[in-house]
Amino acid sequence: MAGEIALRTRHPGLRASDEERERAVEELRRHYAAGRLTATELEERVAHAYRARTRGDLVRAFEALPRRRRPLGVKVARAQRSALRLHAAAYVTANGSLVGVWALTGEGGFWPAQSLLPWGVLLGWHLYAYRRWLRPRRRGASA
């Protein structure tokens, strides 16, 4: 939670929502349960979180506390999804241009197939590998 808000606090003046305050309080309670805060510190920080008007105010409730990091799998999935989108966009742009040139020139055989097929196979493999990698993680999340 603190990490979520900290990542989003490029604009610390944005108003904090009630939901964000509640999640912040839950995260503070986790820090208390882990022994990082005393009962008095917890009370003070919870009061500060409930009084927070902006996300910047909310982040201050987590000073001197470690940020919770996203699991590596989440980071890898996000990177894979971004790479897949980039590859698909490059495929469509480059091969769409080749097909456009072929259509405008009126050349005989469909020569853009020399690019479409191998690149399409590689893009399909990337999509298959990504989904196959994602499958056991989805099962684990629903279990």
pLDDT tens profile 74-93 = 778 888 899 999 999 999 99
Nearest to 41 by CA among 19, 61, 20: 61
Global model pTM greater than 0.75: no
Task: Show me where the domains of the chain are located.
Answer: 2-60, 72-142
Token digits of residue 124: 């399909």
Within 10 angstroms of residue 61's Cβ, the number of other Cβ atoms is 23
The pairs formed by 97-101 with CB atoms below 8 angstroms and a separation of 24 or more are none
pLDDT tens string 89-140: 999 999 999 999 999 998 779 999 999 999 999 999 999 988 888 887 666 5
